[in-house]
Structure 1
Amino acid sequence: MARTIIAILALTALAACGGGGGLRNLDAGGDGPDEFAINPSAPLEIPENLSRLPAPTTGVANRTDPDPAADAVIALGGNPGATMVGGIPAGDSALVTYATRNGVDPDIRATLAAEDQGFRDRRSRFGGLFARGDRYFQAYSGQALDAHAALARFRNAGVAVPSAPPAP
C-alpha cells in the first residue's frame, strides 16, 4: 500500500514538471526585435539617366515600398496593374459607374441597418417585445441557402464544382 501511495505521489510530482508551454510557446518574451514584423522593401534602383528623375508626389507610395496585395496577385499569376485604379478594381469601373448613375446615398449603411432591424422585429414573435438576444438567424431562416442541396443540384446539372465538406 505504501508503494502505491509513493508511486502516485512520484507520478503527480513528475506530471507537475511538464508545464511551461514547451514548443507551443512561440512568444520569445522581452523587448527584443520581432523577426516576423520585418517587412523587407524592394531593392533600390539607379536609373540610367539621373537628369530624368520623377518629381516626388505627396501621398503617393514610394516605388520601393512593399505592396503585399500586388505581390499576391503576381504570385498567383495575375496582372497587378489591373487590380486597383482609384480605389476601384479596374474590371469593375463600368459596374460602379452604372450602379451610381442615379446618385449615391451617403447614409446607406445607417438606412440599411434601420430597415434590417425593422424586418427582424416584424419577423420575430410579438415584434421583438419578448425576444431575448438577436433573432437574426430566426428572422432570415426562410432565406437561407442549403449549401449541400445547391451543390447536389449543380453536380446533377453537370457543372464542375469544387469539393465540399460532408453534410453535418
Structure 2
Amino acid sequence: MRKLILAAGLVSTLSACGGGGGLLNRDRPDEFAVSRQAPLVIPPDFALVPPAPGTPSAANVDSSRAAMEAMFGGPAPRSATESAALNAAGRANAAPGIRSSVGDPGTEVVEKGTTTRDIIAAPEGDGQDARAAVPPQ
C-alpha cells in the first residue's frame, strides 16, 4: 500500500512538470531579440601604405624580438657616466651569457664573510639612521 501511494505521488509530481503551465514551459524573453546587432565593419585605415620595394617581408621579421621591442622599447642609450663605469668594470671582457651561468648550481662561489652578507642584506635608506656596531671586548 505504501508503494502505491508513493508511486501515485511521484506520477502526480512528474505530470505537473510537463504539459501546460509548468515551471519549465513558461514564456521567456528572447535574449537575441532585445537589441539589434550592428554589422561587423572594419573601418578603413588610411595609415597603411603598400610596402616599398626591397624592404623585408613580414614573414622575415622575428616576432618575439618585435614583441619585446614593442613592450619594453629598444636598447636604451647609455649616458657618458654609465658608459665610463661599464668600460672601467671591463665591459669588453665580459663573458657573453654570464647571467645564465651565475644561477647555475655548478658555479663556484667564494665566501666573503658575514660583513659582506650584512652589507648586502641591509635595508635601503639614505643612511641617516645608521649606527656603527661596536664589537664586544
The TM-score, its normalising length taken from structure 2, stands at: 0.30
Q: Which protein, 1 or 2, shows the higher relative CO under an 8 Å CA cutoff with sep ≥ 6?
A: 1
Higher helix share: 1
